[in-house]
Amino acid sequence: MISNDTPPESQSDYDPLAGITGNNLPPTLEQSQLASQKLKDIDTELKQLQAEIEALPSQLSRLQSRCKILETKREEISAILSPWRKLPPEIVANTLQVAVNPGWDDYFVSAVHSTNRRLFKNLRAVCRMWREVAFSTPSLWTNVWIDFDEYRTEQVADAIRGVQKYFERAGPSLPLQLGFKWRKKSNPVSDTWLEYLLSQRSRLIEITVKSTTSYFRAFEERLKDSDGATWETRYLNVRLRGGTALATSDVIDASFPALQSIHISSDRDESCHLAILAGHPGLAKLHLNMAKINQDRCFSRLGGFKHIYELTLTTCAYQSISNDAPSCELPDLQYLTIRDPCSFTVLSKIRAPSLSDLRIATSVHGTPSVQQQLWTTFPQLIGFLQEAGPKIQDFYLRCWFMQDDEALRRLLEALPSVRRLCLDTWFTDDSESTSEDDDRARTISNQSLLPNVREICQHLPEEIPSRWTGPPPFVRNPRFWRSFAAFLHSRKPASESDVGIPGPTAKAPGLVNHSEGIISKPKILVYLPDLEEGVYGVDDTQLEAVASIRELNGASIIIQNKCTCDV
């Protein structure tokens, strides 16, 4: 290999051919011989260099291959020192528990990844330790979701046996959570599945059923034939399709005496579906999808649940409850969520003196008539808040239907105790700023609105419907941002004695710090999910407002792209 990189002509200060290379004189014999020798030397070196160049790709390939081998080996060895290898089995088991059994108390429960057995199989394949922990932890095998519609008829029997074997790893006594979808026609195999469910009635604490009404009717008939056998189920989620009449007796109440939570949804207006709600005097949580069920009939059932503390109503966005619907007295109700109401008349039918959390998700994709109904019945919302508002600490509302600042002022005045407020609007005006406007803005800001608020979310409104009546009040114009910043500046600093924020707001960061006996002042947390500095569409007024809010002593600003408080 050539190791000397210095060109031949530079290797010596004296070159005997230098005198002749610069002219056209004929060379002497000695010069000719010397030139021939020089050419041979250069050709020899060139040949060596060319050989080395040709060998470089092969050499580079070997080096790259060796490098990959070393990198793989390094990754294998470094895994030995990874922190997760030092985790005790108890921590690994808890981690797997969170991933595999997240809890099913969700109205729209479905075959999500966290309840899918295939995901659990992938987690067990991470390493031998995780696999050993998984197989030695019975509580990881207590949750199954299965969609029988994904199986051919001849495969269903094997799928049922798979569920049985899966639950066998949970041991003989742990409570089980089971969700299944069955919209096939009834057949002998479906009877086998019903028999298996009945055999596990003492362990099935949570059940979700997505089926046709005819299949659920077969389930009810099997319950009636079980000679009074009762279930230990606490949570029942039923989503029905079809119009087959369900049993009108109290078969569900008699078979499930321990029920604490019921979620029911149907795709048809069949009053017989509400037979599921018969009885259950100790029910604590109820979620009703009334979009396809007569709301008046639903309310005829609600009054019987005197101990319910959580209620979610998904109403019809185009058909309101009638004025003739019965009123419901719910003395223990603390959490109320209403989705897609086309009017606030539904609130006039509810008495909830203990209410602390109210969330109303109006559908912004409604028609102009829906907008008008919401606006016309807005006084009924105010009336409800004037009765329950003094105890409400968490409030959420989509305000797309509002038409003036006065309505917003009346709304906030009815919430004197609220600590967590989620809106998509604020006081604003599209007119040009005048001294009178400025005085009006200061008057609004300086009013004693929301004296106890500790967390405000100004989330981005949904897309404005194409058929809009009048200017939308929640457009993020300069007046919006100036007014919102002025309101925050008008808040008096919280006193040091104002600590101990109850309810869901207690978990918000930065509110209370009891470390080493030091108590910090509560802050107003401001969430601006639709605003992020540096992104396209943020104008100077918005940035100035954010900068002004950041200067507040006692305000903590969180800017994020996605709203986390949506219902």
157: tokens are 């029997």
Q: Does residue 427 sit within a domain?
A: no
Q: Write the CA distances from 213 to 132, 186, 217, 241, integer angstroms.
A: 42, 11, 6, 6
Residues 90 and 229 in one domain: yes
Establish if 72 belongs to a structural domain: yes
Per-residue pLDDT of the chain (567 residues; tens, 9 = 90+): 445 555 555 444 677 777 787 788 888 888 888 889 989 999 999 999 999 999 889 889 999 999 999 999 998 888 788 787 788 889 989 888 888 876 655 434 444 444 557 778 888 888 888 899 999 999 999 988 888 888 888 888 999 999 999 999 999 999 999 989 888 777 777 888 999 999 999 999 999 998 888 888 888 888 888 887 899 999 999 888 876 656 556 788 889 999 999 988 877 666 556 778 888 888 999 998 877 777 787 888 888 888 999 999 988 767 778 888 888 899 999 999 998 888 899 999 999 999 999 999 887 666 778 888 899 999 999 999 999 878 999 999 988 788 788 899 999 999 999 999 988 888 875 444 444 555 554 445 545 788 888 888 877 665 555 555 555 544 566 777 778 878 877 765 544 333 333 333 333 333 333 334 433 444 677 776 555 444 445 566 666 777 777 666 666 666 654 545 555
Specify the residue for token string 């038409």. 403
When divided into structural domains, the chain yields a total of 2
- Taking alpha carbons only, the member of 244, 248, 219, 215 closest to residue 233 is 219
76 and 91 part of one domain: no
Cβ atoms < 10 Å from Cβ of 33? 11
Q: d(Cα 403, Cα 546) in Å, to the nearest integer?
A: 26
DSSP 431: S
Q: What is the pLDDT at residue 536? A: 43
Domain identity same for 190 and 71: no
Domain limits for position 153: 86-237
Residue 423: per-residue pLDDT: 86
Identify the sign of the CA torsion 84, 88, 92, 95.
negative
Check whether residue 56 and residue 91 sit in a common domain: no
242 within domain boundaries:
no
Query: Taking Cα atoms as reference points, which of 439, 420, 529 lies closest to residue 486?
Result: 439
165 domain-assigned: yes
The answer to whether residue 521 sits within a structural domain is: no
Of the three residues 38, 65, 81, the one that is the final residue of a domain is 81
Asked, for residue 509, whether it belongs to a domain, the answer is no
Amino acid at 33: Q
Claim to verify: residue 181 and residue 72 sit in the same structural domain? no
Q: Is 357 part of any domain? A: no
Shared domain for 105 and 215, answered yes or no, is: yes
Same domain, 110 and 133: yes
Residues 101 and 203 both lie in one domain: yes
**Do 59 and 187 lie in a common domain?**
no
- Reported as half-sphere exposure (CB side, CA atoms, 13 A), residue 5 has a value of 0
Residue type, 498: D
- Identify whether 128 is part of a domain: yes
β-pair partners for 147:
181
CA end-to-end distance (rounded Å), the chain? 74
Residue 90 and residue 217 in one domain: yes
Domain end residue (candidates: 237, 255, 281): 237
Which domain-ending residue is among 208, 237, 266?
237
- Same domain? For 93 and 118 the reply is yes
* Domain shared by 55 and 90, yes or no: no
The residue written with tokens 């029911």 in the block is 264
Question: Which residue reads 């809009």 in tokens?
Answer: 468
